[in-house]
Amino acid sequence: MRFLIWLVPVLLAAQTPRGLHPAVSELVEGVSEERVSAVMKRLGEFGSRNTNYEPGNKASREWIAEQFRSFSPRLEVHFDTHTIAKQGRIVRDLELHNVVATLPGTTQREQEIIVCAHYDSLNVIRRKEGAVAGGDTTDWVATADAPDAPGVSDNASGVALVLELARLMSQREWPKTIVFIAFSGEEQGLFGSRGYAKAAKEAKRKIVGVFNSDIIGNDYAGDGRRVTDLVHVFSGDPADSSSRALARYVQETAGRYYPAMKANTVFRSDRFGRGGDHTPFHDAGYAAIRFTTPVEHYGFQHSAGDTFEHASPAYAARVVRVNAAAVGSLALAPPAPQVMRTNSEGNATAPNLGRGKGYDAVLKWAAVEPVEEVAGYSIKLRSTTAPDWEREIFAGNVTEYKLRNYSIDDVVIGVRAVGKNGIESPVSAYTLVPRNFAASAVP
C-alpha cells in the first residue's frame, strides 16, 4: 500500500463514492405492513408469554420457530436453552428458551450481525396488602401466573421486526452472517440475552452489530403526544464506542434509504434508569443499540391493556424499514478497519495515530479482509464536542495517511472502509487508552 499525503486546504475536495445499493433499496421497499401487523396481532393472542408461564411461552416460541422455518431453507433454526434458578422475578426453577435463526454469510462468514427482540411479555399484578420490603408492591408470583399479558407493543412489535427482516433477508445470500433472535427472560432481568452474550464472548465470536428493537409498536403516549416519523436509537458510552458508531451508522443509512423516518441518536445506553437486551452485548464489548418509540404509553405498558387495539402496526413497519436500511448496508459492507494497536490478549494498548514530526496527524490502520472487496478508505473528522462527523476525505486504497500541519488535540479522527459495491463500513475512531498513573507511581 502506498503512503499518501494530504494538505489541509483541500480537505473538502474528495468525497466517498455513494449511491443507493439495489439490494438494500429492495429490502427497504419489501417490508410489508400487513405482515408486521399480523405478527403483532397473533403474538398478542397467546394470552401470556411471561417466561414463568410455560403454556403461553412455549406455544409462542414454537410458533416463532415455525415462522422462521417457513421463510427459507437457508435459515438454521434452533432453541438456545438456559437453566435459570429461582430468583427475583423468576419465581421457580425453569428452562429459558431463546429462538435463534442463523443465515450463514458468504465471503465474511465469521462477521455476525444480530437482529433481536424479546418475545416474553408482562402483566404486573400489585399486592392488595401494600408494599413489601424495599417499597415494591408487585406480587411476582401472581404476575408470573397471570394468563392475560398480551404484550403487543412490548414486545410483539419487536418480534414482528425480527421475523419480517428474517423473511426478506433469507431470500438471498449476504456476505456477513445474520442471526435473528427472539429472546426470553428480558422482563425478569435480561436472562436470555445475558446468557447468549456471555457464551458469544467466551467463544470469541465476531459480532459486529446488535440491533435490538423493544417497544416499537405505538406512536402515541398517555399524555396525548403523537410521533410517527421518528424512532430513538440508544447507544452506550463512551462517545466513540463501537455502539455509538453503530448508532451513527443507522442515522446515516436511514437518511439515505428511508428519509421519511428519522433515526434519532440518543447518547445514553437506554431510557433513564432502564435497560434492554442490547445491554449485555455492549457490556461484553460488542456494538449494540436499541430502537424504541419516543412516545411510550405507560398506561398500557406491562398490563393487560397492551393489546393490538392500542398499537400502531404502521409505525412498527416504518421502524422495520429503518432497520432494513442499516442491517442490509452493514451486511454488504466491508469490515470496519482496525485502528487500535492491541496486545497478545487482544486488548487495545494505543491508537495508530501520532503527530509525525510534531505538527502533522499521521494515521495508520490494518487493511480489511477480503481485500478484493475494498475500493479504499475514507477519513472522517469532527470537533471533540460535535455529536456527528463533520468532514470527510476519500483517501483511496491506502493504509497510512498524513494530514500535514493538522493538530490532533481538538478533533476526533476516524476511518471507514469503502466497498467496491459502494457500501461503507461503520467508522472506527482513534481513541485514547486511559493512562494508569497509579500503576507507574513511585511509592
CATH of the domain at 435: 2.60.40.10
Predicted confidence band at 128 (pLDDT cuts at 50, 70, 90)?
A: confident
| The residue to which cell 400487513 is assigned | 34
The per-residue pLDDT for range 168-206, each reduced to its tens digit, is 999 999 999 999 999 999 999 999 999 999 999 999 999
Same domain, 253 and 368: no
Predicted confidence band at 134 (pLDDT cuts at 50, 70, 90)?
A: low
**Angstrom distance (rounded) from CA 377 to CA 397:** 6
Which DSSP letter does residue 164 get? H
Give the pLDDT of residue 129. 73
Asked if residue 276 belongs to a domain, the reply is yes
Predicted confidence band at 210 (pLDDT cuts at 50, 70, 90)?
A: very high
User: Each residue of 357-372: b (16+ CB within 10 Å) or e?
Assistant: eeebbbbbbeebeeee
What's the whole-number mean pLDDT along residues 147-162?
98
**Into how many domains does the chain fold?**
2
**Angstrom distance (rounded) from CA 238 to CA 384:** 12
Same domain, 199 and 308: yes
Strands 374-383 and 411-419: antiparallel
Same domain, 302 and 366: no
Same domain, 74 and 92: yes
Same domain, 326 and 428: no
Please tell me whether the peptide bond between 155 and the residue prior to it is cis, using omega within 30 degrees of 0.
Answer: yes
DSSP 25-47: HHHHHT--HHHHHHHHHHHHTTS
C-alpha cell at 359: 505538527
State how far Cα 134 lies from the chain centre: 34
Same domain, 360 and 216: no
**Angstrom distance (rounded) from CA 302 to CA 209:** 28
The per-residue pLDDT for range 300-353, each reduced to its tens digit, is 999 999 999 999 999 999 999 999 999 999 999 999 999 988 776 767 778 899
Same domain, 184 and 200: yes
Same domain, 10 and 63: no
What's the whole-number mean pLDDT along residues 4-19?
41
Whether the pLDDT of residue 361 is over 90: the answer is: yes
Where in the sequence is the domain holding 430, given as residue range(s)? 4-18+336-440
Same domain, 319 and 367: no
State how far Cα 322 lies from the chain centre: 12
Give the pLDDT of residue 272. 92
| Distances in whole angstroms, Cα of residue 264 to Cα of each of 108, 116, 284, 317, 350 | 29, 19, 24, 17, 31
Contact status, residue 46 vs residue 60, Cβ threshold 8 Å: yes
- Min mean pLDDT across 11-15, 81-85, 304-308 is at 11-15
Same domain, 350 and 272: no
Asked if residue 229 belongs to a domain, the reply is yes
Domain CATH for 230: 3.40.630.10
Q: Which of 298, 313, 332 is the last residue of a domain?
A: 332
CA nearest 99: which of 119, 79, 118, 115?
Answer: 79
Predicted confidence band at 4 (pLDDT cuts at 50, 70, 90)?
A: very low
| The residue to which cell 435480561 is assigned | 190
Asked if residue 25 belongs to a domain, the reply is no
**Angstrom distance (rounded) from CA 102 to CA 180:** 6
Same domain, 221 and 305: yes
Whether the pLDDT of residue 114 is over 50: the answer is: yes
Whether the pLDDT of residue 2 is over 60: the answer is: no
Asked if residue 26 belongs to a domain, the reply is no
Strand partners, 404: 7
Residue 269, C-beta contacts closer than 8 angstroms, at least 6 positions apart: 234, 235, 236, 237, 275, 279, 282
Percent of the residues in the chain that have a pLDDT greater than 90, as a whole number: 86
Q: Helix %, strand %, coil % for the chain, to 5?
A: 30, 30, 45
Give the pLDDT of residue 82. 97
Strands (E), 238-388: 262-266, 288-292, 340-342, 348-351, 353-354, 361-364, 374-383
Asked if residue 141 belongs to a domain, the reply is yes
Give the pLDDT of residue 427. 98
Collapsing DSSP states into helix, strand and coil, what is residue 252? helix
Asked if residue 246 belongs to a domain, the reply is yes
Q: Which of 311, 332, 353 is the last residue of a domain?
A: 332
Asked if residue 24 belongs to a domain, the reply is no
The per-residue pLDDT for range 39-77, each reduced to its tens digit, is 999 999 999 999 999 999 999 999 999 999 999 999 999
Whether the pLDDT of residue 7 is over 60: the answer is: no
Asked if residue 249 belongs to a domain, the reply is yes
Give the pLDDT of residue 94. 97
The per-residue pLDDT for range 425-434, each reduced to its tens digit, is 999 999 987 7
Q: Which of 304, 332, 360 is the last residue of a domain?
A: 332
Predicted confidence band at 278 (pLDDT cuts at 50, 70, 90)?
A: very high
Taking the CA atoms of 397, 400, 404 and 409 in sequence, report the sign of the dihedral they define: positive
Same domain, 320 and 388: no
Give the pLDDT of residue 11. 36
